[in-house]
Structure 1
Amino acid sequence: MAEKKKKTITGQVLNSIKINKLKCINGLNEIIFKPHALTAILGPNGSGKSTILHAIASIYMPEKGFPGEDHRLMHFFPRSPHAEWNGSDFIVNLTYRKDGVMIENELKNYGKADVRGSRWIQIYARRPLREVYYLGIDKCVPIIESEKKNNIQYETSSVSNDLITNILHYASYILNKPYTSFNQHQQPNGKILIGVESEGLAYSSLSMSAGEQKIFLILETILKADKNALILIDELDLLLHDEALKKLIDVISTHAEDKNKQIIFTTHREMVTTLSDKINIRALLQIGHCCK
């Protein structure tokens, strides 16, 4: 049996980010992502919560041959007649292990010079390595709303492994509903839909509630990610009632601490401020200012 390939960089931690200028944000105080594995960013509409996640998503790139998403600043901040993004500037503080040596509190600057037509820095190919996943609000749109056909065909196959067992277990706890099996439904065009069975009723994601679909997406993304991964979720609370949100936070907090993963999410739900024993609460009091 061939030896499993090992990552060259491990132990990655995003310690903090300080945004001097980016989109609507000017002079954001340093946001520190400690001591907990989970960080909640709260703030009113237009305060820059999503902008912060977009910046963080673009810090890293996946190591070749390993999973992860490759997000770039140019994708989140495209040029337009009204926005060149010149003068954008933010600094991150990183820790990681390379060749057995721990590198702590390394500072990296990202942004775009004031000169019109400037390129974003860091150079994309030189960004630090890390497995990153970003779940934007668009990922929460019910699949049935994006399906244009009125007659949907698919072939069903049952899936069973440790990951699926854990997803079903946690989903049952969070949604207070006994899930007993997990299926994949492959459409003729190759598109895969998930499906579950509960109390003898089998159904696909086309028939799931929006909140139910979101829980399965979040659990699958977080549980399948490798150690030291970074998961970013825009509006974690969207489509979830308080009880489900509390249970979800309980599950992902325990998992992230155990597997050395970082999870950073935005929210409007002030209820999360009561969970400061397991979440770093970071509130944007107004545009460009953060309270630690």
Structure 2
Amino acid sequence: MNAGNRFRSEIRHGTIQELAGKVAKESYGQYLRKLTLAKVRGFSNIEVSFDFPVTAVVGPNGGGKSTILGAAGLPYSSVPPSRFFAKSGKYDDSMQNWSIEYQLIEKGLNRKLPVLRTASFKRLKWNRTAVDRRVLIFGVERTVPASERQNLRRAVGSAFEAVRETCLPDHVIDQAEKVLAKPLAGFRQLFLDDIDRLSIFSGVTALGDGYSEFHFGAGEASVIRIIAEVEAAEENSLILIEEIENGLHPVATQRMVEYLIDVAHRRKCQVVFTTHSNDALAPLPPEAIWAALGDRVIQGKLDVRSLRAITGQVEADVVVFVEDQFARDLVATALRRDGGVELDMIEIHAMSGAAVAKNATLHHNSIPTTWQPALCFLDGDQGELADEDKQIHLLPGNSDPERTVLDDICSNLDELAAKLTLSLRLPLDRQQQVVSVIRTRRTTNRDVHLIFQQIGEDLGFLSAHDVAHAFLALWANEFPEPTKMIVDLIRQAQQRGRPTPASA
């Protein structure tokens, strides 16, 4: 559990589980279930499954985010291949023999079995047997300010009058207000042509004065446009969004993703978006997130900042990957206690579980141009994933690190009570209360990831972060052998340099 993450989604956990269950049961009329990049750009035989109806694709620049996004649209006839995979004469000879394989849910074609399709580029053109599905695409150009878009110049000038005007529907205003956190009553859509292909929005100030999209924030106009089009789309539509956070405040980015999860729930839509933002990942479950790393992918929730470490684009001597924030704090505490390792030269990254941490380590160490070694420390109960030859190690104990630290402290709690009370920044006259709370919570706790939060609440609303750090500091000082093991492995890696590349 990441005690430092204060984000709390308004999407109920039950809704997340329900949506994931619908995908597992294939309870959709239309759904892109899986794609395999047999050969596309840097990818070869790479599979991406869509295990949640809202999928985020993250990655460094050039990692392949747009490749996956474009590939998601290619099996559908409404998406021209050139939208994402344009060929520029002889300069794109590498496109020859590109191939993408698909597993689709298409109940109109086969009610019982997935429908298989292939899109391939041969003889200078794309070949595909596409199926019909409504696909909405929102590219990065959506956040270009109206004043900089040449196709809107006709709306400039005192003589401009729209071909047609409509009030934004109440349900569109309601959803957009939730994302933007501002009143949108009186907003209108102004159409510039007879076929409704080109439009701008207009709003009203609190004083009743009107203003056009030329005076909107680019992110504000983007949100309203996306929501208006999504709410007008039919059920089972596919929505593709490039760089969802463009032009948005971090909180608005989170709310936008929550809106898309809500759309998936209400309207059975499927969404795929690319992002560089941790805020866009916060509302999503781990299975909804893929990291594109140039020639491979990793599924699971991770900190976007760790992507540079995974791909070796850091200046540190050693990179360490662990399962979660508590494990990260444990390793950092061990290094601080030792004092012999320069902390600025060690990067420690909390991932979202054992598999993601291990895969990140293997990928980092497999890159030929990466000079610094990566190590992985998994929780003590992940012995089946450990592989010391590939730098996949275990933290002390045979369970979650929270359990190990708690049990070690409790094994000598009466003697350590005074030190722990002071470490918690409490007066010594509360020492017996500290002991009583810890013993009670240790007995009643069902989820050890919550233990420090529970102890903090019982002691007077101390933060989980402060309680965890108090336990860790005392544990590192009183039980030096486990921390020495961690530090020794990091120091050895720092001294020997980059290990032999490991294959995933």
Instruction: State whether TM-score is above 0.5.
Output: yes
Q: CA deviation at 1:121?
A: 1.4
Q: CA deviation at 1:151?
A: 2.6
Quick one: which amino acid aligns to residue 87 of structure 1? N
Please name the residue that 1:212 is paired with.
Answer: 220
8 Å Cα contact 1:205-1:213 kept in structure 2: yes
Is the aligned partner of 1:120 residue 2:126? yes
What is the DSSP-based 3-state SS (H/G/I as helix, E as strand, rest coil) of the residue aligned with 1:92?
strand
Is the aligned partner of 1:17 residue 2:27? no
Please name the residue that 1:92 is paired with.
Answer: 102
Please name the residue that 2:371 is paired with.
Answer: none
Please name the residue that 2:132 is paired with.
Answer: 129
Distance 1:166 1:83 in 2: 45
* Count of equivalent residues: 263
Identity %: 24
Is the aligned partner of 1:108 residue 2:117? yes
Distance 2:165 2:194 in 1: 19
Is the aligned partner of 1:50 residue 2:66? yes
| TM-score with structure 2 setting the length | 0.49
Distance 1:118 1:243 in 2: 45
What are the residue-to-residue correspondences of 1:120-159 with 2, within 5 Å? Answer: 120-122=126-128, 126-147=129-150, 148=153, 151=157, 153-155=159-161, 159=166
Structure of greater Rg: 2
Q: CA deviation at 1:272?
A: 3.3
What are the residue-to-residue correspondences of 1:49-88 with 2, within 5 Å? Answer: 49-61=65-77, 70-75=78-83, 76-84=85-93, 85-88=95-98
Distance 2:220 2:194 in 1: 25
Quick one: which amino acid aligns to residue 127 of structure 1? A
Structure of higher RCO (CA pairs closer than 8 Å, 6+ residues apart): 1
8 Å Cα contact 2:190-2:202 kept in structure 1: yes
Is the aligned partner of 1:173 residue 2:173? no
- Classify 1:188/1:74 alpha carbon distance in 2 versus 1 (closer, same or farther; 3 Å): closer
Is the aligned partner of 1:281 residue 2:284? no
- Classify 1:283/1:169 alpha carbon distance in 2 versus 1 (closer, same or farther; 3 Å): same
**1:270-291 residue CA offsets vs partner (Å, 9 max, x unmatched):** 233332339711112x202111
Quick one: which amino acid aligns to residue 120 of structure 2? G
Residue segments in structure 2 that go unaligned for 5+ positions in a row: 1-27, 300-504
What is the DSSP-based 3-state SS (H/G/I as helix, E as strand, rest coil) of the residue aligned with 1:226?
coil
8 Å Cα contact 1:22-1:90 kept in structure 2: yes
- Classify 1:55/1:153 alpha carbon distance in 2 versus 1 (closer, same or farther; 3 Å): farther
Residue segments in structure 1 that go unaligned for 5+ positions in a row: 1-9, 62-69
8 Å Cα contact 2:102-2:118 kept in structure 1: yes
What is the DSSP-based 3-state SS (H/G/I as helix, E as strand, rest coil) of the residue aligned with 1:30?
strand
**1:3-25 residue CA offsets vs partner (Å, 9 max, x unmatched):** xxxxxxx81110011112223x3
8 Å Cα contact 2:244-2:280 kept in structure 1: no
Is the aligned partner of 1:37 residue 2:53? yes
Distance 2:194 2:158 in 1: 11
| TM-score with structure 1 setting the length | 0.81
What are the residue-to-residue correspondences of 1:248-287 with 2, within 5 Å? Answer: 248-277=256-285, 280-284=288-292, 286-287=293-294
Q: Deviating runs (4+, > 6 A) in structure 1?
A: none
Quick one: which amino acid aligns to residue 92 of structure 2? A
8 Å Cα contact 1:174-1:247 kept in structure 2: yes
**1:196-227 residue CA offsets vs partner (Å, 9 max, x unmatched):** 22422322111110110111111112111100
Distance 1:249 1:81 in 2: 40
8 Å Cα contact 2:258-2:283 kept in structure 1: no
Distance 2:157 2:142 in 1: 23
Quick one: which amino acid aligns to residue 30 of structure 1? E
Distance 1:159 1:187 in 2: 12
Q: CA deviation at 1:248?
A: 1.2
- Classify 1:219/1:279 alpha carbon distance in 2 versus 1 (closer, same or farther; 3 Å): farther
Please name the residue that 1:164 is paired with.
Answer: 169
Q: CA deviation at 1:105?
A: 2.3
- Classify 1:93/1:203 alpha carbon distance in 2 versus 1 (closer, same or farther; 3 Å): same
The structure with more strand, counted as a fraction of residues: 1
The structure with more helix, counted as a fraction of residues: 2
What is the DSSP-based 3-state SS (H/G/I as helix, E as strand, rest coil) of the residue aligned with 2:104?
strand
Distance 1:272 1:211 in 2: 15
Q: Identify the range of structure 1 (229-238 vs 251-260) with the bigger mean alpha-carbon deviation.
A: 251-260
Quick one: which amino acid aligns to residue 12 of structure 1? Q
Q: Identify the range of structure 1 (221-230 vs 104-113) with the bigger mean alpha-carbon deviation.
A: 104-113
- Classify 1:133/1:146 alpha carbon distance in 2 versus 1 (closer, same or farther; 3 Å): same
What is the DSSP-based 3-state SS (H/G/I as helix, E as strand, rest coil) of the residue aligned with 1:155?
coil
What is the DSSP-based 3-state SS (H/G/I as helix, E as strand, rest coil) of the residue aligned with 1:29?
strand
- Classify 1:94/1:202 alpha carbon distance in 2 versus 1 (closer, same or farther; 3 Å): same
Distance 1:131 1:57 in 2: 10
- Classify 1:214/1:278 alpha carbon distance in 2 versus 1 (closer, same or farther; 3 Å): farther
Quick one: which amino acid aligns to residue 283 of structure 1? A
- Classify 1:181/1:90 alpha carbon distance in 2 versus 1 (closer, same or farther; 3 Å): same
Quick one: which amino acid aligns to residue 238 of structure 1? N
